[in-house]
Structure 1
Amino acid sequence: MSDSAALDSFLEKWRARWPEWSVAEVFVAPVRRDIVVAWFALLQEFEDVLNIAGDPLPADAKLAWWGEELRGWASQRSRHPLGRRLEPVRADWARLADALPTLAEARTAPLDREAGFAALSRYGDAVAAVESGVLGRMPASRAIVAEMLAARLMEVGGVAVPVNLRQGADEAGQLRAWATALHEAWPPRDGARERRLLSAYVQGRLLRFARRGESAPLPSRASLLFTGWRAARGG
């Protein structure tokens, strides 16, 4: 497979996981679309490592590989297809590499909401710093962590729920309670337009999850378009 085809396969894998983005891209300048999706696809790789099921050793080895890879990007020595698109960006890739081991530690259920945010704070800070270089504007690191925690809940379910919410309710109630707590802790959306768009769609998924205690179908295209419009204009 050529480098171009390999890169396209990673971009399309992310688009398939986020069909909302086919609506959101109308609000993104065409010249920025590929690098935006490449950046979000890279973060999805790390999210998948956090949410691994079963034996964590392969995922931890993958984290170590990514650490070496990101440090190489500062010297234009990428091996991964996403690096072909992202390594030319001047960003603190080494800081992100240094933060990756915290993802393995964050698989443990937190004691409460703030402990959940604290476990991923170093990673959130690193992502925010790099995103300022990739997308031209730094988001709130707490928003990055909120997205990670929401995605983790919707991906792995009950094992993500904090200890303090595991009393006095069935599993569906615990899932809804954690989804609601995350939504209440979500900071105002900021950062680049593309980050605001993705954050709005993550929040939408989380709210639907909070109502049902499980993932729900996407709303209509018109609803997604309105959500994207509001996020793009800063609402």
Structure 2
Amino acid sequence: MSVVGSDMPGHERDDALHSFTDKWRARWPEWAVAQVFVPATQRPIALAWASLLQELTDAAWGGSDARPGEAKLAWWGEELQGWAQGRRRHPLGTNLQRQPAPWAQLASALPSLRDSRERPRDSEEAVAALQPFARAAAATEAVLFEGPFDAAIPAVTASLLHARLAHMGEPAVPLGLLAVAGESGPLSAWGRELLAQWPVTAGARPRRVWSALARQRLARGDAALPLPPWATLLAAWRGARS
């Protein structure tokens, strides 16, 4: 995996950082509207953190061959351990590495994220597979955004399951639903099950907004389809207030 050194000229570091945050924005264009409900001081960190989560989950779940993603996650494990020790190579570290978050804990949870690529038997197994990583991510958000830890765990888990469905499609659906989905199709059945179990509490403000957007995508029937501006505004407002 190519890396960008911290001794690059400022404009090159900014361009490199934007290349990663723009990938997340492309998948979540709702952020252009929804970010107004997040304090301005938190927005750069929120954008970098969301982009980091996307890099990690794309590595875990992307492609027909798991080996390139496994190599990327191994690299990220070393990078996050470096962040914990005051070093950084990746551009996303520009906004994140100096934050006193539990980067080593997040690195230690990456193997569980890697293993979550396997199709779960049912919803309980799907949730359980993501718990180590969800807990580490929630602990990180508790520091980054000065929010609650316990309340964020179910919301992070739900958002990860949504992201897995949006990214992987049918392979994300538990085995048990493949046989009972019927005419509605397994994707719709799994989306409805996720929606029915969606947590009420969601942690800090950025997580509440992200959770509300993901939930509304599921409610509209397509985990990967961005919301129109009016639906984004309403969902983000409700999430920020919850």
TM (norm. structure 1) is: 0.92
1:218 to 218, 227, 239: 227
> Is it true that 1:18 corresponds to 2:28 in the alignment?
yes
Q: CA RMSD in A?
A: 1.7
Match in the other structure for 2:145: 135
Residue equivalent to 1:201? 213
Which segments of 5 or more consecutive residues in structure 2 lack a partner in the other structure?
1-10
Q: Distance in 2 between matches of 1:217 and 1:25?
A: 15
Q: Which has the larger displacement, 170-179 or 23-32? A: 170-179
Aligned to 1:122, which of 132, 137, 155?
Answer: 132
Q: Is the 8 A contact 1:146 1:186 kept in 2?
A: yes
Name the counterpart of 2:82.
72
- Kindly report which structure 2 residues correspond to 1:1-235, keeping only aligned pairs within 5 A, or say none: 2-137=12-147, 138=149, 139-170=151-182, 172-209=184-221, 215-216=224-225, 218-219=227-228, 221-234=229-242
Distance change (3 Å), C-alpha of 1:165 and 1:95: same
Structure 1 stretches lacking a partner, 5+ long: none
Please give the secondary structure, in 2, of the residue aligned with 1:166: helix
The C-alpha deviation readout for 1:1-36, integer Å capped at 9, x for no partner, is: 711221122122211211111111111222221111
Runs (4+) of structure 1 exceeding 3 A deviation are 168-172, 214-217
* Letter paired with 2:227: L
Shift of the 217–75 alpha-carbon distance from structure 1 to 2, 3 Å rule, reads closer
Counterpart CA distance in 2 for 1:199 and 1:154 is 14
Percent identity between matched residues is 47
Residues 33 and 232, structure 2, Cα contact 8 Å, conserved in 1: yes
Q: Structure 1 residue 132: deviation in Å?
A: 0.8
Secondary structure of 2:195's aligned partner: helix
- State the AA in 2 paired with 1:206: L
Aligned length, in residue pairs: 230
Pair 1:76–1:183, CA change in 2 (3 A) = same
Letter in 1 for 2:29: P
Alpha-carbon separation, structure 2, partners of 1:150 and 1:86 = 24
Higher mean alpha-carbon deviation, 33-42 vs 148-157, is at 148-157
CA distance in 2, matches of 1:6, 1:44: 16
1:90-109 residue CA offsets vs partner (Å, 9 max, x unmatched): 01110100000112211111
8 A contact 1:189–1:199 mirrored in 2: no
SS at 1:209's partner residue? coil
**Which is worse superposed, 108-117 or 11-20?**
11-20
- Judge which range, 148-157 or 162-171, deviates more: 162-171
Question: Could you tell me how far apart the structure 1 residues matched to 2:86 and 2:232 are?
Answer: 38
Q: What is the alpha-carbon distance in structure 1 between the residues aligned to residue 59 and residue 181 of structure 2? A: 29
CA contact (8 A) 1:158 1:171 kept: no
Per-residue CA distance 1:176-199 (angstroms, 9 max, x = gap): 111111111111132111110011
